[in-house]
Amino acid sequence: MSKSNKWEDHYTRRARQEKWLARSVYKLEEIDRKYKLIRQGGRILDLGCYPGSWSQYCISKAAPGGEVVGVDLREPENLRSEGFRFIKADVLSLDIEWLSGEIGRRDVVLSDLAPSTSGIAVADVSRSLELARKALAIGLSVLRKKGHFLCKVFEGEGAQDLRREISSRFNQMRIVRPSAVRKASREMYFLGLSMVDPSGNKE
Ligand SMILES: C[S@@+](CC[C@H](N)C(=O)[O-])C[C@H]1O[C@@H](n2cnc3c(N)ncnc32)[C@H](O)[C@@H]1O
């Protein structure tokens, strides 16, 4: 059995049939079905967008009038669509002020950023948290008041500090593990709903 077949499951096959660029689309779809994050006309930032299924999903839900900006180290070459703009960058060294000026206010910031895993759990958790923390810093800077933030995190030391930080900046905080997350994976998603205004007023 080839390596790619080993990882194939019904989500992989369904994604191929339904012409999504990756099976991970079903994670976002499940979360979005429940929390209604992506709306028509929405302005979305998708951090770690390659190969593009989350952006593809957002473009389809936000049209007409929506706008999706994707950021990744790698260009999603199979995603060409009106309403999509790609910024090739390393999120960890991305200048937030510059990004903010480039893309303006966003309704939703998504991060499916994931490090290439080493198999050493402590190192992988720590690199995932570094990415998630940067995603949050970007979110806090570009989100409009009451905007939403979703980010992937690997379960482990330090994740609870990030959870507390999100809880203090958003009116509601949820931890979600969609059914499409593979059983053996440590990944989960932190969801901040309705960002409080910078003065810290919760409503
Ligand atoms: C799980 S994939 C995202 C899948 C995507 N949500 C989709 O549905 O197609 C994680 C992505 O994070 C990107 N990534 C990891 N570290 C990054 C960094 N420092 N800067 C930018 N992108 C990064 C990887 O290149 C990879 O494409």
Cα of 113 vs centre of ligand 1, distance in Å, is: 4
Ligand 1 atom 25 nearest Cα = 73
Residue 135: partners with Cβ closer than 8 Å, 6 or more residues away: 47, 91, 109, 111, 113, 149, 151
**Structure confidence at residue 2 (pLDDT):** 47
Cβ–ligand 1 distance for 53 under 6 Å, the answer yes
> How far, in Å, is the centroid of ligand 1 from the Cα of 117?
12
Q: What gap in Å lies between CA 59 and CA 110, rounded to an integer?
A: 13
Residues 19-41 have a mean pLDDT of: 97
Worst-scoring range by mean pLDDT, 58-72, 108-122, 140-154? 108-122
Q: At a CB cut-off of 8 Å and minimum separation 6, what does 14 contact? A: 23, 26
**Cα of 4 from ligand 1 centre, angstroms:** 19
The verdict on the CB of residue 73 being under 6 Å from ligand 1 is yes
The fold of the 3-195 domain, in CATH, is Rossmann fold (3.40.50)
% of the chain beyond a pLDDT of 90: 81
CB-ligand 1 contact for 74 (6 Å cutoff)? yes
Question: 52: Cβ below 6 Å to ligand 1?
Answer: yes
Q: Does ligand 1 lie within 6 Å of residue 124's CB atom?
A: no
pLDDT at 3 over 90: no
Helical H runs in the chain?
Answer: 3-6, 10-17, 25-35, 53-62, 96-103, 121-142, 159-169
- Ligand 1 contact, 133 CB (< 6 A): no
Q: Residue 118's pLDDT band (boundaries 50, 70, 90)?
A: confident
Residue 4 binned pLDDT confidence (cut-offs 50, 70, 90)? low
Reported as a pLDDT band with limits 50, 70 and 90, residue 202 is low
Question: pLDDT category, 49, cuts 50, 70, 90?
Answer: very high
Highest mean pLDDT among 9-13, 65-69, 78-82: 65-69
Measure 70 CA to ligand 1 centroid, in angstroms.
10
Quote the ligand 1 centre to 203 CA distance (angstroms).
33
**Threshold 0.85, pTM exceeds:** yes
Show me where the domains of the chain are located: 3-195
Give mean pLDDT, residues 92-114: 98
- How sure is the predictor about 201, in pLDDT bands with cuts at 50, 70 and 90? low
Q: With 80 as the cut, is the pLDDT of residue 81 above it?
A: yes
Burial group, residue 179, by CB count within 10 angstroms (0-12, 13-18, 19+): exposed
**Residues assigned a catalytic role:** 152
| Ligand 1 atom 16: residue of nearest CA | 115
